[in-house]
Structure 1
Amino acid sequence: MAKRLATEYVNAKLQLTNDEMAEFIRLFEEQQLRLQVLVLDNGNQELVLEDVAGREEVRLTFERQQDYYVCVLTCRLIGPRLTNAMRKAVSAFRGNAIVNRIYSHYTMIYHYMNGTVLKIVESSKTGERVVFEFKDTLGQLERVFRSRLIEREISLINSAVNELLDLRNQTNEAEEIGNIDERLTELTRKLFVLEA
């Protein structure tokens, strides 16, 4: 098995609430990393993560934006403990990132969206190839199902409109025609909304 030389996080973005920030700090403490939390004057926080041997560190600056702490990060990690902790954090806290896992003859490029790997691309001297791509099959089926329900409802409304028009043509009473016209107006609005 090929040995990973480094892991690069390219424009990784995390957005955490106050409670999530506490969980985030706890996650790194559980990974047995040295951790310093610096609270800055403007409410921002900076986390300094360091592996136990002290050979590698990463600084995560979280800017206070309304009710969230937002961190945009680009860094290169070599040690396995810090690398694994960052991978867990991006996944657990629904981060967005492009992560390059660099090996001697190729690079695996992971595309994270909301903590989920959507795509993995292998990049080498010979070119790029998609190794994995997330397909939201369930979501696609739900959308198709909903569109069919709407089509069925449109068909039912069209039938009701036709029946009301036939009834209107057969009726001579003004009050009855007024009621039919009101119902036709309601159905027309409903049809307009469904077709939009």
Structure 2
Amino acid sequence: MAHRVATEYVNANFNLTEAEMPKLLSLCETQLLRMQVFVLDNGNQEVVLDDDAGGETIRLTFERSNGRYRCVLSCRVVQPKLTNTLRKLVSFFKGDAVVNRIYHGFTMVYHYMAGAVVRIVECKGAEYRTVFEYSDTIGRLEHQFKLVFVEEEIRKIKNAVNELLDIRNQSVGSAQVREIDERLKYHSRLLFALEA
């Protein structure tokens, strides 16, 4: 099995509320890392994580805005505890990131969206091979079903309009024509909405 050399987080970002900040600190503590928290003048916070094993340090800066904290991070990590902690933070707080897991001779690029891996690409020199790509099959099927449903509704309304026009052409009373015209207006608005 290949041994990972390093992990690079490229433009990783995640958001959390003030109420979620203790959860973040608790998650970092459970990873057995040394942690320091600094509260800056403008309400921003900085969390410094240190792995005793290799002396590696990561600084997570959280910019505060409207009761929420945003962390944007780009770094290279070697120590497994720090790598695992960052992965859990991106996943738990539904972050977006591009993560390069670097091995001898190749790199695995993980694309995270909303905390979930949506794509994995293997890079060997100039060669790229997609290993995994998320496809929203249920979403696609729901969308397709809605399209079929709308098409069926449009067909029914067009048939109703044709019937109303036939009745209108045969009727002689002005009251009946006005009633049919009102129903035709309603159906035309409905058709317009469905076809849009």
- So what's the TM-score if we normalise by structure 2? 0.96
For 2:194, give the aligned amino acid. L
What do you get for the CA RMSD once the two structures are aligned? 1.2
CA distance in 1, matches of 2:179, 2:41: 69
Q: What corresponds to 1:95 in structure 2? A: 95
Match of 1:116 in 2: 116
The list of structure 1 runs, each at least 4 consecutive aligned residues, that deviate by more than 6 angstroms after superposition, is none
Give how far 1:54 is off: 6.0
**Which residue of 2 is the match for residue 30 of structure 1?**
30
Asked whether the equivalents of residues 32 and 52 of structure 1 are also in contact (C-alpha less than 8 Å), the reply is no
How far apart, CA to CA, are the structure 2 residues paired with 1:52 and 1:178?
85
Partner of 2:191: 191
Unaligned runs of 5+ in 1: none
Identity of aligned residues (%): 56
Q: Which amino acid aligns with 1:133?
A: E
Q: Distance in 2 between matches of 1:134 and 1:40?
A: 40
Instruction: Identify the residue that residue 130 of structure 2 maps to in structure 1.
Output: 130
- Contact kept? 2:54, 2:79, Cα under 8 Å: no
- How far has the Cα of 1:64 moved from its partner? 1.1
Residue in structure 2 matched with residue 15 of structure 1 by the alignment? 15
Match of 1:140 in 2: 140
Give aligned pairs, total.
196
Contact 2:48 / 2:58 at 8 angstroms: preserved in 1?
Answer: yes
Query: Which residue identity does 1:23 align to in structure 2?
Result: K
Aligned to 2:79: 79
SS of the equivalent of 1:109 reads strand
Match of 1:173 in 2: 173
CA distance in 1, matches of 2:39, 2:172: 80
User: C-alpha separation between the residues in 1 aligned to 2:126 and 2:42?
Assistant: 49
Cα deviation for residue 39 of structure 1 reads 1.0
SS at match of 1:175: helix
- 1:119 and 1:130 in contact (8 A); partners too: yes
2:140 maps to a residue whose letter is Q
The superposition leaves residues 56-115 of structure 1 with CA deviations (integer Å, 9 ceiling, x where unpaired) of 110010111223211110001111111111111111111100000011111100011111
Question: Secondary structure in 2 aligned to 1:5?
Answer: strand
Q: Tell me how far apart the structure 1 counterparts of residues 40 and 58 of structure 2 sit (CA, whole Å).
A: 17
| TM-score normalized by the length of structure 1 | 0.96
Q: CA deviation at 1:126?
A: 5.2
1:53 & 1:107 partners in 2: Cα distance? 24
Cα deviation digits, residues 121-161 of structure 1 (max 9, x gap): 11112511111111111111111001001001101111111
Bigger mean CA offset, 97-106 vs 169-178: 169-178
The residue identity in structure 1 corresponding to 2:23 is E
Q: What secondary structure, in the 3-state scheme, does the structure 2 residue paired with 1:154 have?
A: helix
Provide structure 2 residue ranges, at least 5 long, that are not aligned to the other structure.
Answer: none
